[in-house]
Chains A and B, each alone.
Chain A
Amino acid sequence: MNGIIDLGFYQVAAAYIFVVIVLAIIRHRGISREKEIVIASFRMTLQLVMVGYILVYVFDNPNPFITAAIVIAMEAFAIYTIFNKFRGGLSTGLKKVIALSTGAGTVLCLLFFLFVIVRVNPWYNPQYFIPIAGMLIGNSMTAVSLAVKSLTEGMTTQKQLVEEALVLGATPQMATRDILNSTFDSAIMPTINSMIGMGIVFLPGMMTGQILAGAAPTTAIAYQIAIMLGILGAVALTVIFTLQMGYRTFFNKEDQLAAGNRDY
């Protein structure tokens, strides 16, 4: 395979022509989003440049503590991002559930992926640990956000159905079963859809990156298949943890809807 074509400063700078085109279009159409697009492009550039230099250092000086610290920082940022998305709208109990589910679900899948599937050596090899953790945590973060949104909406719009079920002798789990099932569906559907379209509608980022870096397409595909299944596992596990523990936060210890969720 040929090695990757290195992109020089001017070549990367030329890619900003796309931002200029988008700015020109939205200004022409009178859509006031220039500021957000400029800030997003600038942030993305700055963050990636910083991450690039950090990764160069981390890869050159592999250390289990640094690898663990980076994964913990990724987890913390993912959890913070979810909290931030629902500013003020989450109970303390649900926040704890989100943190625990995201952490436990992604770490379990990450360890299985690295130690059982890839069999990485040394075990803390940052070249594998960090990008794979990023993919699992990133996708799980999106799925947990969707799950929390759907769960809180379901518990609000279907509050009367839940109450009626409780009155008839249902446990909170039975009373929320339909909400939890539809929440699981809506949280996991984007991952399933992306799996269906993969290879036909688009070539996934990781595989594209590996091919550009000179890896054989068959190796890139093997990694992509494994990582997609890992993502599916991490997404499903984090969402199931979130739902199984999360629904309880809407009830008090007397199996009544908790005060903030009642009409009376």
Chain B
Amino acid sequence: MSEAAGFEFIQVKYLHILDIPSLSIRPGVITSILGPSGSGKTSLLRLLNKMASPTSGRINYNGADLAGISPVEHRRRVVMMSQSPVIFKGSVRDNLTAGLRFQQKEIPAEDILRSVCEQVRLDQALDSPSGVLSGGEKQRLALGRIILLDPDVYLLDEPASGLDDETAGCILDMLTEKTRSQNKTLVMVTHSRAMARRISDELIHTTRGRAASGAAG
């Protein structure tokens, strides 16, 4: 089981986009980030996995200053799925295992790859070309890709944006169950207040670059 992880923001500013005097994201819980477009939700996620760095202030991860942690090592533990995930050239299998190859991890057996495809409701053959997938299928393939990485923290940017309500609900329930049963952390950006309240333990509201947290209940 992975060690739980937590983030703490101290006087963090990021360009003109975010200004967060104080914020905590607790380990082992599901946190949703809500807020209007342009309020800095995606930037907040990028700060969490070091795809962006604070202009000033400090972010701690498990008590250690994130600035002192190797970016590549950090991204391997704190994996992000962007709102419009990019699909690489090649087959479904190539894309599913892309992260594992980047992280130089062992490629699992065929049945495990198929099982992940089932979990994200992707019924394409593993060897079919990824170029013919629809937007929703690409979204599910990208989700499968990060599930296979088995990170400590999942960061999802609008994971349900390209999916119908039923599929989105099933996949998010599966991720929720995985997060809770394996004591992982999930931070998700969403526009859906109802979905956020249904699956989250905590909510973060971003407004004009400010972020405030509270319980989801």
Contact = CB atoms under 8 A, between A and B. Distances in A.
Contacts of A254: 50, 53, 71
Contacts of B86: 160-161, 163-164
B52 A168 contact: no
B49 A168 contact: no
A255 interface: yes
Contacts of A168: 75, 79, 98-99, 102-103, 145-146, 149
Interface string B61-92: 00000000001100110011110011010000
A108 interface: no
What range describes how many residues of A lie at the interface? 10 to 19
Contact of B43 (A161, A170, A171, A264): A264
Contact of A167 (B43, B49, B53, B88): B49
Interface in B84-119: 85-86, 88, 98-99, 102-103
A168 B103 CA distance: 8
Interface in A9-36: none
Q: Select the residue from B50, B53, B102 with max chain A CB neighbours within 10 A.
A: B102
Contacts of B212: none
B52 A161 contact: no
A169 B88 contact: no
A168 B80 CA distance: 7
9 contacts: A163-B86, A166-B75, A167-B49, A168-B98, A168-B103, A255-B72, A256-B51, A264-B46, A264-B52
Interface of A: 160-161, 163-171, 174-175, 254-256, 264
